[in-house]
Amino acid sequence: MLELGRELLQWIDEHMDAATREQLRTNNVTRLAETLDPTNTMMRILRYPPYDPELAAPGATRASAHEDINLITLLPSGSARGLELRDHRTGEWREVPLVPEALIINIGDMLEQMSNGEYRATSHRVVVPADEDVSSDRMSIPTFLHPFSSTYLSPKYATADAFLTERLIELGVLTPEQVAEKKRQAVAAEI
Ligand SMILES: O=C(O)CCC(=O)C(=O)O
Ligand SMILES: [Fe+2]
């Protein structure tokens, strides 16, 4: 997955808007693929449990609408239908066809930042399709490719870490107090 991720990032790099690439170069990003950090990158094994048919109806949400907070996500087809993407031109939700052994590539927020909006982050969600039984489960195994924490993203975000921290506070995963405490500890460790 890492090798494939590197190749895709290299491809994106080669086809990126020239001015954006230049901006990345002047901020020490010589190649997009070189920003890929294997220790920050994670593969997740997800199981969406069956719903109780008394409590949920077809159409029920399994993962609400979001964008991934990373460069790109490599998402092999799940074990069942249900993944949907939002068409950013019309706002419409579209089902991703379930093709066995296919690989879906989602663009994440960090690539949107690094490409100056040329690559838009993919809004996606997981539902129980309207014509399917809620009492079956669903598995999927995404790999989230992340850059090194110190990677420059954009004029607004000097580092990937600054961007991630802001998103995690927004999501309520971290409090501003926890972030301040982490910074204090990092400074103390340097002394
Ligand atoms: O289960 C899926 O197909 C998508 C999972 C997902 O979007 C995520 O974990 O961020
Ligand atoms: Fe996602």
* Cβ-contact 51, 137 below 8 angstroms: no
Per DSSP bridges, beta strands 61-66 and 143-145 are unpaired
User: What is the spatial distance between Cα 116 and Cα 113, in angstroms, rounded to a whole number?
Assistant: 5
Domain that holds residue 43: 2-190
Is the pLDDT confidence value at 191 over 80?
Answer: no
Check residues 83 and 187 and name the one with the higher pLDDT.
Answer: 83
Q: Residue 15: which residues within 8 A CB-CB, separation 6 or more? A: none
* Residue with CA closest to ligand 1 atom 9: 142
Distance 22 CA to ligand 2 centre (A): 29
Would the ipTM clear 0.85, i.e. be above it?
A: yes
Hey, which of 61, 93, 126 would you mutate to test ligand 1's pocket, going by the most ligand atoms within 8 Å of its Cβ?
Answer: 126
Please report, for the domain that includes residue 186, its CATH number: 2.60.120.330
The ligand 1 atom at the shortest distance from the C-alpha of residue 73 is: 10
Amino acid 133: pLDDT: 87
**Mean pLDDT value of segment 19-26:** 94
Which protein residue has the closest C-alpha to ligand 1 atom 10? 68
pLDDT value at residue 57: 87
| Count of the separate structural domains present in the chain | 1
Task: Flag whether the pTM goes above 0.95.
Answer: no
Q: How far is the C-alpha of 145 from the C-alpha of 69, rounded, in Å?
A: 9
The whole-chain average pLDDT of the chain stands at: 94
Q: What percent of the chain has pLDDT over 70?
A: 100
Q: What DSSP state is assigned to residue 162? A: H
Does the CA dihedral 165-169-170-171 come out positive or negative? positive
pLDDT by residue (tens digit) across 37-72?
999 999 999 999 999 989 888 889 999 999 999 999
Count CB-CB contacts under 10 A for residue 94: 12
